[in-house]
Amino acid sequence: MTTLLLVRHGLTAMTGPVLAGWTPGVHLDDRGRAQVRDLGARLAGLPLRAIVSSPLDRCLETAGAVSGALAEPVEKIEVDERFGEVRYGDWTGRPLAELAKEPLWKVVQAHPSAAAFPGAEGESLAAAQHRAVAAVRDWNARIAAEHGPDALYAVCSHGDIIKAIVADALGLHLDQFQRIQADPASLTVIRYTELRPFVVRLNDSGGDVAGLVPPPAADGGESPGGGDSDAPVGGGA
């Protein structure tokens, strides 16, 4: 149906040592700005029909770098709060080394479907996955309706949100999503078809991206086996 490019924001001063969450005013640092410039250069030739971003600054800056590099710019960066970071509640802004000592940490690691973050602003990981996957489905339908079934678009989001979307695409229970990795400024690509999604790339930090554009069907027909939703037996060429 559509091809979704999931982009994690670039590095910030808080990335790694501190759980930034929805902390306001967290911007890309020099490392992050260099990362997203490189990513933008890699994606410059792709015909992206839309760029959607989390409302948080670090994602908006990353999305802006990608948009500014495109040979065919999109009209504007769309903002969808459903792609925003998990609402970590009282954990927000605390060092990860400190959080690792909390009893909830083991639940987040081993049984994330049962994890709900404390405080009035906290949400569960299951709720975060639900909103993000719902957003993907809404945007898939919108992009396909406006630009056709082979359109590409990008979403700039956060590590746990990207991992949750990938888990859904792979048909994995949320309890397995910690087996997935999404590094800063990495690219993860999912191609959605009528029958199933295909995870085309995962946590990609380099390499050619020209192959992400779906090729036209030979002689205007379908691919062998009955359509784009079929996985090639033997793995394909």
Distance of CA 141 to the CA centre of its chain: 17
Of 41, 74, 69, 73, give the one whose Cα is nearest residue 207.
41
At residue 218, the pLDDT reads: 54
- Give tens-digit pLDDT for 140-186: 999 999 999 899 999 999 999 999 999 999 999 999 999 999 999 99
pLDDT score, position 215: 74
Q: pLDDT at residue 234 above 70? A: no
Q: What is the 3-state secondary structure (H, E, C) of 47-81?
A: CEEEEEECCCHHHHHHHHHHHHHCCCCCCCEEECH
Do residues 128 and 87 touch, judged by C-beta distance below 8 A?
A: yes
Q: Is pLDDT of 232 > 60? A: no
Sign of the Cα torsion 215, 219, 223, 229 reads: positive
Q: pLDDT grade, residue 224 (50/70/90)? A: very low
The predicted structure's pLDDT at residue 227: 59
Judged against a pLDDT cut of 80, whether residue 226 lies above it is answered with no
The pTM assigned to this predicted structure is 0.90
pLDDT tens digit string along 3-62? 999 999 999 999 989 999 999 999 999 999 999 999 999 999 999 999 999 999 999 999
pLDDT attached to residue 231: 46
- Of 214, 68, 88, nearest to 147 by C-alpha is 214
Contact, 162 vs 8, CB < 8 A?
A: yes
Q: Which two tokens stand for residue 143?
A: 């992009």
Domains assigned to the chain: 2-209 (3.40.50.1240)
